[in-house]
Protein backbone atom coordinates (compact mmCIF):
# COMPACT_ATOMS: atom_id res chain seq x y z
CA UNK A 1 0.00 0.00 0.00
CA UNK A 2 1.26 3.45 -0.88
CA UNK A 3 -0.07 6.99 -0.44
CA UNK A 4 -2.01 8.20 -3.47
CA UNK A 5 -0.02 11.43 -3.81
CA UNK A 6 3.24 9.46 -3.72
CA UNK A 7 2.02 7.04 -6.40
CA UNK A 8 0.86 9.89 -8.63
CA UNK A 9 4.09 11.78 -8.16
CA UNK A 10 6.15 8.70 -9.08
CA UNK A 11 4.07 7.55 -12.01
CA UNK A 12 3.56 10.99 -13.56
CA UNK A 13 7.00 12.30 -12.60
CA UNK A 14 5.51 15.35 -10.88
CA UNK A 15 6.12 16.91 -7.46
CA UNK A 16 4.09 15.66 -4.50
CA UNK A 17 2.50 19.15 -4.27
CA UNK A 18 1.36 18.94 -7.90
CA UNK A 19 -0.15 15.51 -7.21
CA UNK A 20 -2.04 16.97 -4.27
CA UNK A 21 -3.27 19.83 -6.46
CA UNK A 22 -4.61 17.36 -9.04
CA UNK A 23 -6.54 15.55 -6.30
CA UNK A 24 -7.89 18.83 -4.92
CA UNK A 25 -9.03 19.84 -8.41
CA UNK A 26 -11.10 16.64 -8.61
CA UNK A 27 -9.06 15.16 -11.46
CA UNK A 28 -8.22 11.87 -9.75
CA UNK A 29 -10.39 8.79 -9.26
CA UNK A 30 -9.55 5.52 -7.55
CA UNK A 31 -11.60 2.53 -8.71
CA UNK A 32 -14.08 4.99 -10.22
CA UNK A 33 -14.61 7.01 -7.02
CA UNK A 34 -13.41 10.60 -6.71
CA UNK A 35 -10.27 10.81 -4.59
CA UNK A 36 -10.37 13.51 -1.95
CA UNK A 37 -7.08 13.20 -0.17
CA UNK A 38 -3.43 12.48 -1.01
CA UNK A 39 -2.89 10.42 2.09
CA UNK A 40 -5.38 7.79 0.94
CA UNK A 41 -3.58 4.42 0.71
CA UNK A 42 -3.72 2.56 -2.60
CA UNK A 43 -2.87 -1.04 -3.47
CA UNK A 44 -1.10 -2.16 -6.67
CA UNK A 45 -4.42 -3.53 -7.92
CA UNK A 46 -6.32 -0.22 -7.57
CA UNK A 47 -7.25 1.51 -10.80
CA UNK A 48 -6.13 5.13 -10.65
CA UNK A 49 -7.26 7.60 -13.31
CA UNK A 50 -6.38 11.21 -13.94
CA UNK A 51 -8.91 13.23 -15.94
CA UNK A 52 -10.52 9.96 -16.98
CA UNK A 53 -7.25 8.44 -18.24
CA UNK A 54 -6.02 5.33 -16.47
CA UNK A 55 -2.44 5.52 -15.29
CA UNK A 56 -0.37 2.37 -15.21
CA UNK A 57 0.93 1.60 -11.80
CA UNK A 58 4.25 -0.19 -11.92
CA UNK A 59 5.70 -0.56 -8.50
CA UNK A 60 9.20 -0.51 -9.95
CA UNK A 61 10.71 -0.03 -13.38
CA UNK A 62 13.76 -1.65 -14.94
CA UNK A 63 15.46 0.05 -17.87
CA UNK A 64 18.18 -1.21 -20.20
CA UNK A 65 20.43 1.61 -21.41
CA UNK A 66 23.17 1.37 -24.02
CA UNK A 67 25.63 3.80 -22.48
CA UNK A 68 27.86 5.86 -24.75
CA UNK A 69 31.26 7.18 -23.66
CA UNK A 70 31.32 10.46 -21.77
CA UNK A 71 28.61 9.75 -19.19
CA UNK A 72 29.13 8.84 -15.56
CA UNK A 73 27.10 6.21 -13.70
CA UNK A 74 25.47 8.54 -11.19
CA UNK A 75 22.08 10.14 -10.70
CA UNK A 76 23.33 13.71 -10.76
CA UNK A 77 26.57 15.60 -10.94
CA UNK A 78 27.51 19.27 -11.06
CA UNK A 79 30.14 18.91 -13.76
CA UNK A 80 29.58 15.67 -15.61
CA UNK A 81 26.80 14.25 -17.77
CA UNK A 82 25.07 11.32 -16.08
CA UNK A 83 23.42 8.18 -17.47
CA UNK A 84 20.14 9.35 -15.96
CA UNK A 85 20.10 12.27 -18.42
CA UNK A 86 19.89 9.74 -21.25
CA UNK A 87 16.63 8.23 -20.04
CA UNK A 88 13.81 9.74 -22.13
CA UNK A 89 11.45 12.10 -20.34
CA UNK A 90 8.46 9.78 -20.53
CA UNK A 91 10.45 7.02 -18.82
CA UNK A 92 11.77 9.25 -16.04
CA UNK A 93 10.46 8.87 -12.53
CA UNK A 94 11.59 9.61 -9.04
CA UNK A 95 14.11 7.33 -7.39
CA UNK A 96 15.80 5.98 -10.54
CA UNK A 97 19.48 5.12 -10.23
CA UNK A 98 22.02 3.01 -12.13
CA UNK A 99 22.46 -0.45 -10.59
CA UNK A 100 26.24 -0.62 -10.71
CA UNK A 101 28.85 1.57 -12.27
CA UNK A 102 30.57 1.71 -15.61
CA UNK A 103 33.53 4.05 -16.05
CA UNK A 104 32.99 7.24 -18.03
CA UNK A 105 34.76 5.76 -21.05
CA UNK A 106 33.09 2.32 -20.83
CA UNK A 107 30.08 1.69 -23.07
CA UNK A 108 27.21 -0.77 -23.05
CA UNK A 109 24.59 -2.24 -20.75
CA UNK A 110 23.59 -0.16 -17.74
CA UNK A 111 20.54 -1.26 -15.78
CA UNK A 112 18.58 1.64 -14.34
CA UNK A 113 15.90 1.00 -11.75
CA UNK A 114 14.17 2.32 -8.65
CA UNK A 115 14.14 -1.11 -7.01
CA UNK A 116 16.89 -1.07 -4.38
CA UNK A 117 16.51 -4.74 -3.40
CA UNK A 118 16.80 -5.88 -6.99
CA UNK A 119 19.87 -3.70 -7.55
CA UNK A 120 21.48 -5.15 -4.45
CA UNK A 121 20.73 -8.68 -5.61
CA UNK A 122 22.42 -8.25 -8.98
CA UNK A 123 25.43 -6.44 -7.53
CA UNK A 124 26.19 -8.64 -4.56
CA UNK A 125 29.06 -11.03 -5.37
CA UNK A 126 27.26 -13.63 -3.22
CA UNK A 127 24.36 -13.74 -5.70
CA UNK A 128 26.66 -14.67 -8.59
CA UNK A 129 25.08 -12.54 -11.30
CA UNK A 130 27.73 -12.53 -14.02
CA UNK A 131 28.63 -9.37 -15.91
CA UNK A 132 30.09 -9.89 -19.37
CA UNK A 133 32.44 -7.41 -21.04
CA UNK A 134 34.17 -7.18 -24.39
CA UNK A 135 37.61 -5.64 -23.96
CA UNK A 136 39.84 -4.41 -26.76
CA UNK A 137 43.48 -4.69 -25.69
CA UNK A 138 46.69 -2.98 -26.78
CA UNK A 139 48.46 -6.36 -27.00
CA UNK A 140 47.43 -10.00 -27.02
CA UNK A 141 46.78 -11.82 -23.75
CA UNK A 142 48.52 -15.12 -23.06
CA UNK A 143 47.54 -18.46 -21.50
CA UNK A 144 49.21 -17.26 -18.30
CA UNK A 145 46.87 -14.23 -18.13
CA UNK A 146 43.88 -16.48 -18.79
CA UNK A 147 44.81 -18.84 -16.00
CA UNK A 148 45.36 -15.94 -13.56
CA UNK A 149 41.87 -14.59 -14.40
CA UNK A 150 40.30 -18.02 -14.09
CA UNK A 151 41.92 -19.15 -10.87
CA UNK A 152 40.87 -16.04 -8.91
CA UNK A 153 43.65 -13.49 -9.14
CA UNK A 154 45.29 -11.47 -6.39
CA UNK A 155 44.74 -7.78 -6.97
CA UNK A 156 45.59 -4.96 -4.60
CA UNK A 157 46.02 -7.40 -1.73
CA UNK A 158 42.65 -9.00 -2.35
CA UNK A 159 41.79 -12.42 -3.75
CA UNK A 160 39.23 -11.97 -6.51
CA UNK A 161 36.46 -14.35 -7.45
CA UNK A 162 37.16 -16.62 -10.39
CA UNK A 163 36.57 -14.84 -13.71
CA UNK A 164 36.40 -16.06 -17.30
CA UNK A 165 38.66 -14.88 -20.11
CA UNK A 166 38.35 -15.95 -23.74
CA UNK A 167 39.51 -14.62 -27.06
CA UNK A 168 36.84 -13.23 -29.36
CA UNK A 169 39.21 -12.93 -32.32
CA UNK A 170 42.16 -14.91 -33.64
CA UNK A 171 44.87 -12.55 -32.38
CA UNK A 172 43.86 -12.51 -28.69
CA UNK A 173 43.49 -8.71 -28.66
CA UNK A 174 39.72 -8.74 -28.24
CA UNK A 175 38.59 -10.56 -25.15
CA UNK A 176 35.37 -11.64 -23.51
CA UNK A 177 35.62 -11.23 -19.75
CA UNK A 178 33.03 -12.50 -17.30
CA UNK A 179 33.09 -11.15 -13.74
CA UNK A 180 30.97 -11.89 -10.70
CA UNK A 181 31.91 -8.77 -8.78
CA UNK A 182 32.38 -5.13 -9.66
CA UNK A 183 35.39 -3.55 -8.07
CA UNK A 184 36.52 -0.12 -9.18
CA UNK A 185 38.12 -0.29 -12.68
CA UNK A 186 38.26 -4.05 -12.21
CA UNK A 187 38.66 -5.25 -15.80
CA UNK A 188 41.25 -2.57 -16.57
CA UNK A 189 43.20 -3.33 -13.40
CA UNK A 190 43.15 -7.08 -13.99
CA UNK A 191 44.75 -6.60 -17.40
CA UNK A 192 47.08 -3.86 -16.13
CA UNK A 193 48.54 -6.35 -13.66
CA UNK A 194 49.81 -8.21 -16.73
CA UNK A 195 51.07 -5.08 -18.51
CA UNK A 196 48.07 -4.94 -20.86
CA UNK A 197 46.05 -1.76 -21.43
CA UNK A 198 42.32 -1.92 -22.11
CA UNK A 199 41.72 0.41 -25.04
CA UNK A 200 37.94 -0.07 -25.29
CA UNK A 201 35.52 -1.67 -22.87
CA UNK A 202 31.87 -2.54 -23.39
CA UNK A 203 29.48 -4.40 -21.10
CA UNK A 204 27.33 -6.69 -23.20
CA UNK A 205 25.46 -8.81 -20.66
CA UNK A 206 24.09 -8.82 -17.13
CA UNK A 207 23.33 -12.35 -15.99
CA UNK A 208 21.87 -14.09 -19.02
CA UNK A 209 20.33 -10.89 -20.37
CA UNK A 210 22.12 -9.55 -23.41
CA UNK A 211 22.25 -5.87 -24.36
CA UNK A 212 19.59 -5.41 -27.06
CA UNK A 213 21.38 -5.01 -30.38
CA UNK A 214 18.54 -2.80 -31.59
CA UNK A 215 19.50 -0.12 -29.06
CA UNK A 216 21.85 2.47 -30.49
CA UNK A 217 24.27 4.13 -28.05
CA UNK A 218 22.32 6.49 -25.81
CA UNK A 219 19.04 4.64 -26.31
CA UNK A 220 17.09 2.79 -23.66
CA UNK A 221 14.04 0.57 -23.29
CA UNK A 222 12.11 -1.16 -20.54
CA UNK A 223 13.23 -4.63 -19.52
CA UNK A 224 10.31 -7.07 -19.78
CA UNK A 225 9.06 -9.23 -16.93
CA UNK A 226 10.41 -12.38 -18.63
CA UNK A 227 13.85 -10.80 -19.11
CA UNK A 228 13.85 -9.76 -15.48
CA UNK A 229 13.19 -13.33 -14.43
CA UNK A 230 16.15 -14.38 -16.58
CA UNK A 231 18.41 -12.06 -14.61
CA UNK A 232 16.92 -13.17 -11.29
CA UNK A 233 17.49 -16.83 -12.19
CA UNK A 234 20.98 -16.27 -13.55
N1 LIG B 1 35.76 -2.75 -15.25
C2 LIG B 1 36.35 -1.59 -15.59
O3 LIG B 1 37.57 -1.49 -15.56
N4 LIG B 1 35.58 -0.57 -15.96
C5 LIG B 1 34.22 -0.64 -16.03
O6 LIG B 1 33.58 0.33 -16.40
C7 LIG B 1 33.62 -1.85 -15.69
C8 LIG B 1 34.40 -2.90 -15.29
Q: What is the pLDDT of residues 53-67, one digit of tens each?
A: 998 777 899 999 999
**Mean pLDDT taken over the chain:** 94
202 pLDDT more than 90: yes
Ligand 1 pocket test: which of 186, 196, 211 has the largest number of ligand atoms within 8 Å of its C-beta? 186
pLDDT recorded at residue 46: 87
Residues β-bridged to residue 111 = 64
CA dihedral 185, 187, 188, 193 (to 10 degrees): 110
Q: What is the pLDDT of residues 137-157, one digit of tens each?
A: 999 999 999 999 999 999 999
**Residue 101 CA: distances (Å) to CA of 104, 203, 207:** 9, 11, 15
pLDDT recorded at residue 59: 80
CA of 33 to the centre of ligand 1 (A): 51
Q: Among 39, 46, 90, 103, which one carries the catalytic annotation?
A: 103
Q: What is the pLDDT of residues 98-108, one digit of tens each?
A: 999 999 999 99
Q: What is the pLDDT of residues 205-218, one digit of tens each?
A: 999 999 999 999 99
Tell me the average pLDDT across 38-49: 90
Convert 119-167 into a string of H (helix), E (strand) and C (coil): HHHHHCHHHCCCEEEEEEECCCCCHHHHHHHHHCCEECCEECCCCEEEE
234 pLDDT more than 80: no
pLDDT band with cut points at 50, 70 and 90 for residue 41: very high
Tell me the average pLDDT across 152-175: 95
Could you give the CA distance from residue 53 to residue 22 in angstroms, rounded to a whole number?
13
pLDDT recorded at residue 51: 95
Could you give the CA distance from residue 37 to residue 16 in angstroms, rounded to a whole number?
12
11 pLDDT more than 90: no
120 pLDDT more than 90: yes
Does the annotation count 103 as an active-site position? Answer: yes
Residue with the nearest Cα to atom 2 of ligand 1?
A: 185
CA atoms within 13 A on the CB side of 70: 5
pLDDT band with cut points at 50, 70 and 90 for residue 75: very high
Tell me the average pLDDT across 84-109: 95
Give the binding-site residues of ligand 1, using a 6 Å CB cut-off.
102-103, 106, 185-188, 201
pLDDT recorded at residue 58: 78
Tell me the average pLDDT across 125-134: 90
Q: How many CB atoms neighbour CB 197 within 10 A?
A: 12
Amino acid sequence: MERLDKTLSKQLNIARSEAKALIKKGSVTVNGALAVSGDMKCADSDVISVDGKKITVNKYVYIMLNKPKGYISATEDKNEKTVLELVPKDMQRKGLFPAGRLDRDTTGFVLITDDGDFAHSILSPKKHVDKTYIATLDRPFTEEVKSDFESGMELGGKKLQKAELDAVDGDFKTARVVLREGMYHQVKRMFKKHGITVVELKRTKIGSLELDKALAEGESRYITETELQNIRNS
